[in-house]
Structure 1
Amino acid sequence: MKHCSLLRMEALLNEWLWREEYWLPPGVRWQDIEMKEDEGRFPLPRDLIYTLPLAFAFIALRIVFERLIAVPLSKHFDVKDRIRIQAASIPKLETFYKQNSAQPSQSEVVSLGKQCGLSQRKIQTWFRHRRHQDRPSNTKKFCEAFWRFVFYLVSFTAGLGSLINTPWFWDHRECWRGYPKQPVAEAHYWYYMLEMGFYLSLLLCVSVDIKRKDFKEQVVHHITTIFLIGFSYCANYVRVGTLVMLVHDSSDFLLESAKMLHYAGWTKTCDSLFVIFSLVFLVTRLVVFPCRVVHTTLVVSVEFFQPFFGYYFFNALLLVLQALHIFWANLILRMVYKFVFLGKVERDERSDEESEVDDEEEEPEEEGDECSWEQRKGAINSKLASLANNCVLNNLTNQRNINSRLPKAR
C-alpha cells in the first residue's frame, strides 16, 4: 500500500509540478537533456533535499563558533556592553509583559497600577526598563556580525575563485550557450548547496536574531533568495545563478566587518569601511546587477530560446531583489548625505536594534523607586560614554544625534 501511495504521489508530481513547459524551453523534453556520467553532473531537484540538513549544520556550527571564537574575540576587541537598569521583580507585571504586550495601552497601565498598588508613572517606568533589559547587547550583535562576515567572505572568495576562469564570467552570452543541457561543475554544485543552506539557516533563526527596522524586507530577501537559488538550480540556470550570488556576497562581508568594528569602537576604520561598502554596494547592486545580470536573463537569453514559464518566474524573482536593492540604496544614500552635507545624523535609517523595542532614553526615577542610585548612575555614565561613539554606522546601530542626547544625559 505504501509503495502504491508513493508511486501515485510521484505520478502527481510528474504531472503537475515537473511539467516540461514549466521548466524547459518550448520543444525541449526531459530525455533531451539527460547526461551520461562522463558528460558531467546535471542538476536534479532532489539534490536540494541536502540543503535542509546543511541549514541545521550551519545553525549548530554558528552556536559553537560564537561561543568558542566570536565571544573571546569580542573581549579581545574590548566590546562594551551597555549597563542597563534592571526592572524590579514584580510577578504580575512580568506575566503581563510576557503573555500580553511589552507596551501596554493607557487603560492597561491604569488597570495594572490598581492591581499592583503602583502609580501609572512607575508602571510605565517598569515596562520601559523591562524593554531595555531585553535589548541585544553589543557582544551579541558583534557575534552575529562576525558569523555573517566569515561566511560571506569565504563564500565570496571561493565563488570568485571558481568563476574567474569560466567563460560566462567574462562573456554573459555564455550563460545560455547550449542551454538547457549544461553540465554543472562540482565546485558550483557545492557553491549552490552551501549558499542555499546558509540562507535557510538565516530564515530558521529569524525569530532569535536581532530584529532591525527593515526586518520585513530582510525576510522577503531571504525567501526570495531561497526560491531564486532553488528554482535556478532545478531549471539549470546555474551559470547566471552563480553570478547573482557572487554579486551579493561582494558587498555583504564589507558591511558586516564595518558593523563589527563599530561595536568595538574603531570609529575611523569603521567610517572608512562604510564608505568602501557604500561604493561597492551601489556599483554592484545598481549598476552591475541590473545592467549585466538582469539584462542577460531578460534580453540576451531570448536569443537562445523562446520564453517559457521558468523565464518569467526567474526574472520576476530577480526584479524583486532589484526592488530591495533600490530600497537599501535609498537608505544608504540618505545616510551618506546627512553625514557629508549636514555633518550629523538625526535619526536611524536602518537600525540594528529590535524593531519592537522603543527607542526611549532612560529617565530619572521618582524618589522611592526600586532602582538604586548606583544603577541610575551606571546608566547615565553609559549614555555619556556612548556619545563619543558617533561614527557613520550610528545609522546601523540605533544611536541618536549627539546634540539630541546631551540634555537627557546631563
Structure 2
Amino acid sequence: MLQTVSEWLWWDHLWLPANVSWSDLEDSEGRVYAKASQLYAVLPCALCMLLVRYLFESYLASPLADVCGVRNRIRVTAQPNSILENYFCSKTRVPSQADVRSLCKKTSWPERKVQVWFRRRRNQDRPALRKRFCEASWRCVFYFFAFVYGVLALHDKPWFYNLKEVWKGFPKQSMLPSQYWYYLLEMGFYLSLLFSLTFDVKRKDFREQVIHHIATLTLLSFSWISNYIRIGTLVMVLHDSTDILLEGAKVLNYAKWHLTANVMFAVFTILFMLTRLVIFPFWLIHCTWVYPVEDFAPFFGYYFFNVMLSVLQVLHFYWAVLISRMFYKCIFSKLEGDDRSDEEEDDTDSSRERNHKSSHIHSSGARGRANGH
C-alpha cells in the first residue's frame, strides 16, 4: 500500500509537464537538479535559526534595547482572586457588563474593581515592550541579510531582468549553489517562525500569519521539487525588500524615535503597495500564469503553484488594509506600534473618573477654604 501511495504521490503528471519524467531530472552532463530529499535539511536549519535568534536577542538585541532606552512598562499585578481567575481562564478574558455584575455578587467587589482586575490580568499575559523590540530586531536583521543575499544571487541572472527567461529550458534547469542556500535559509526561517508562533507576540492576524507561513512553506517546497526555483527566488527577494522597512520602523518606534519611524513607515507603505499590489500580481503572477503555457500544456503543478500564489495575494490585500490604517495614524497622529498587536491596556482609573476625582478634590478644597480651613 505504501508503494502505491508513493507512486501516486510522485506521479510525473502531478509535478511535471507532459512528456517529462523524474528520470529526465537526474544529475547528468554537469547539470544538478533539486531533489525532494534535500528538504529534510530545512528542519535542522529551522532549529539552528531558533538558536541563533535566542543568542541574537539575548546578547545583541537586549543590550541594544538598553542603549535605546527601551523599558518595560511597570505593571500592577492583579489581586489574587480564585473566582475571577477561574472565570478568566475557563470562560472569557473580556467579560460583558452583565457578567461583571454577576461576578460582583460572587466576589462582593464593586464593578470598577472587577473591571480593573480583568484589565490587569490581561496585561499580565501580554508581551512586554522589550520583547517586541527584540523580536522586531531579529526579523529586521534577517530580512536585511536575506534581501542582500538574494540580490547578490540574482543580479547577474537574465531572468532577473527578463521574466520570460524564467521558463527557458524548464524544467531542465540546473540548480545553482546560491539558489540552494537561499531556499534553505528562507524555508528554515519561516519554519522557525511557525514553531515560535506560540510564544511570540500574539497579533490580531494570528490565523492569517499561520496561513501565510504554511502557504509560504508549501509554495517553496513545491517550487523546489518541481524546479520552479527561478520564480521562487524572485518571489522571496520581492517580499524581503519591504519586510526590512516594516520591522525597522517598529524597532525605531519602540525606541521612541517616532519621527524617523514615521518616515520609514511611510516609505514602507509606498513600497508595499508597489511590490505586493502591483509587481507581485501583474509581473510575477502574470509570469507564472501566462508565459508557461507558451511552451507546455497546463498540468496539476501549474495550477497548484498559481493557486498558492493567489492565496499569498489575498493575504497581501488583507495586510494592505491594516497598513493603510497604520499609515493614517502615522500621518494624523503618531505610529503607536503594530496595529496587529494586542496592545497593553490602561489598568488605572479612566480619564473620566480621574477628572471626576480631581474636580471633587478641588471643590472640596474650595468649600474648605470658604469655611475657614
Q: TM-score range by the shorter chain?
A: 0.7 to 0.9
Q: Counterparts of 1:282 and 1:109 in 2: how far apart (Å)?
A: 44
Matched, 1:327 2:318: yes
* 1:20–1:247 CA distance, 2 compared to 1 (3 A): same
The CA deviation at 1:109 is 4.1
SS at match of 1:331: helix
The CA deviation at 1:119 is 3.3
What is the letter of the counterpart of residue 231 of structure 1?
F
- Could you tell me which residue of structure 2 aligns to residue 156 of structure 1? 147
* 1:96–1:331 CA distance, 2 compared to 1 (3 A): closer
* 1:275–1:105 CA distance, 2 compared to 1 (3 A): closer
Residue in structure 2 matching 1:361, options 307, 324, 346:
346
Q: Counterparts of 2:317 and 2:82 in 1: how far apart (Å)?
A: 46
- Could you tell me which residue of structure 2 aligns to residue 50 of structure 1? 41
More deviation, 278-287/306-315: 278-287
More deviation, 95-104/299-308: 95-104
Consecutive unaligned residues of structure 1, counting only runs of 5 or more, are 1-7, 366-410
Scaled by the length of structure 2, the TM-score of the pair is 0.87
Matched, 1:33 2:28: no
Q: Counterparts of 1:54 and 1:86 in 2: how far apart (Å)?
A: 39
* 1:350–1:71 CA distance, 2 compared to 1 (3 A): closer
Q: Counterparts of 2:284 and 2:7 in 1: how far apart (Å)?
A: 32
Residue in structure 1 matching 2:58, options 57, 67, 70:
67
Cα RMSD for the two superposed structures: 2.3
- The answer (yes or no) to whether the contact 2:326–2:339 under 8 Å persists in 1 is no
- The answer (yes or no) to whether the contact 1:141–1:210 under 8 Å persists in 2 is yes
What is the letter of the counterpart of residue 40 of structure 1?
R
- Could you tell me which residue of structure 2 aligns to residue 399 of structure 1? none
- Could you tell me which residue of structure 1 aligns to residue 134 of structure 2? 143
The CA deviation at 1:138 is 1.1
- Could you tell me which residue of structure 2 aligns to residue 122 of structure 1? 113
What is the letter of the counterpart of residue 362 of structure 1?
D
- The answer (yes or no) to whether the contact 2:49–2:188 under 8 Å persists in 1 is yes
Residue in structure 2 matching 1:134, options 116, 122, 125:
125
Matched, 1:19 2:11: yes
The CA deviation at 1:105 is 4.7
What is the letter of the counterpart of residue 35 of structure 1?
D
What is the letter of the counterpart of residue 236 of structure 2?
M
What is the letter of the counterpart of residue 190 of structure 2?
Y
The CA deviation at 1:264 is 0.1
- Could you tell me which residue of structure 2 aligns to residue 314 of structure 1? 305
SS at match of 1:82: coil
- Could you tell me which residue of structure 1 aligns to residue 258 of structure 2? 267
1:233-382 map, 5 Å: 233-337=224-328, 339-340=330-331, 343-344=332-333, 351-354=339-342, 360-364=345-349
- The answer (yes or no) to whether the contact 1:214–1:350 under 8 Å persists in 2 is no
- The answer (yes or no) to whether the contact 2:137–2:248 under 8 Å persists in 1 is yes
The CA deviation at 1:41 is 2.3
The CA deviation at 1:299 is 0.5
- The answer (yes or no) to whether the contact 2:250–2:337 under 8 Å persists in 1 is no
- The answer (yes or no) to whether the contact 2:78–2:117 under 8 Å persists in 1 is yes
Q: Which has the larger radius of gyration?
A: 2
Consecutive unaligned residues of structure 2, counting only runs of 5 or more, are 351-373
- The answer (yes or no) to whether the contact 1:40–1:185 under 8 Å persists in 2 is no
SS at match of 2:236: helix
What is the letter of the counterpart of residue 323 of structure 2?
I
Q: Counterparts of 1:338 and 1:190 in 2: how far apart (Å)?
A: 39
Q: Counterparts of 2:330 and 2:136 in 1: how far apart (Å)?
A: 23
Deviations 1:316-370 (A, max 9, x none): 1111111221222233334435654xx347x98962432xx7x7533429xxxxx
Q: Counterparts of 2:347 and 2:76 in 1: how far apart (Å)?
A: 8
What is the letter of the counterpart of residue 140 of structure 1?
K
What is the letter of the counterpart of residue 351 of structure 1?
D
The CA deviation at 1:209 is 1.2
Q: Counterparts of 1:280 and 1:106 in 2: how far apart (Å)?
A: 44
Q: Counterparts of 1:300 and 1:349 in 2: how far apart (Å)?
A: 41
What is the letter of the counterpart of residue 145 of structure 2?
V
More deviation, 71-80/11-20: 11-20
Residue in structure 1 matching 2:197, options 198, 206, 217:
206
What is the letter of the counterpart of residue 33 of structure 1?
L
* 1:337–1:260 CA distance, 2 compared to 1 (3 A): closer
- Could you tell me which residue of structure 2 aligns to residue 396 of structure 1? none
Q: Counterparts of 2:199 and 2:329 in 1: how far apart (Å)?
A: 32
Q: Counterparts of 1:353 and 1:133 in 2: how far apart (Å)?
A: 15
Q: Counterparts of 1:265 and 1:350 in 2: how far apart (Å)?
A: 14
Matched, 1:230 2:221: yes
- Percent identity over paired residues: 46
- Could you tell me which residue of structure 2 aligns to residue 408 of structure 1? none
What is the letter of the counterpart of residue 319 of structure 2?
W
Scaled by the length of structure 1, the TM-score of the pair is 0.79
What is the letter of the counterpart of residue 43 of structure 2?
L
